Structure 1
């Protein structure tokens, strides 16, 4: 009995010696008034670079129907795009959606999906028709998931068989 009590006391003492406060990662930030450095939590940089330029599909130059070129220009009201591929051409406003996880969604407004599954509303219209093609912007690369699966069927840019279309900015 005394041994059990002694082991319980030792276990309690040892477990209370641990540091219960999580470790915080900090970095020194130079002070503008030349006083002592202050501590700041490291936060990933977000860029507000100009998106203007020409973006081209680069993954598979032999992929039939995937010779996609997008030109993005900055105007007073925001960004506009011109997307061309496989003898098709679209123009419109470009939407940007900065997300909490530090990624940026990009939306080419006014491009209808090439194919969607048929889910008719009560009024007989197709509930899955979309006129905005979305993707993700990371650095100088725009990635578009071009088609879904059997449970969520869609094709955004018809004629291009790539699942993920990567458009890289030409420099």
Structure 2
């Protein structure tokens, strides 16, 4: 009886190793078509881009380039196919987490760029003494980060700091 159990176990292991669906190996998503959009296009604009077949070892992706308008709705500039960006590998959803004027996302799978999302990551700001407005704090923190601020000092006993910008 124990010989038959060992034989069955060996057969099962052998079958699992020879059958990729039985193991945890995941086949990469293939992208052959993406939704296409060019803001400059006036008429007869295709809504599908057929992606060029990638070279061996490379992968196609879909992308979206957009900005949020004043009403917090997306203003799409471009959609389409592009080739081989590791940040897009295995991304089934097109999601941007950036904090910038122009937003960009990429994904894998046919027409994965039909829907796109902005899910901004939390930001951290450097507090500035005496300044209470979050917008002012963000502006000053960014100016300081990029080396535009010479110094921030408080000469007097009041709560208003002096800020010297590099010119």
Q: Which bracket does the TM-score occupy, shorter chain normalised?
A: under 0.3
Bigger share in strand: 1
Bigger share in helix: 2
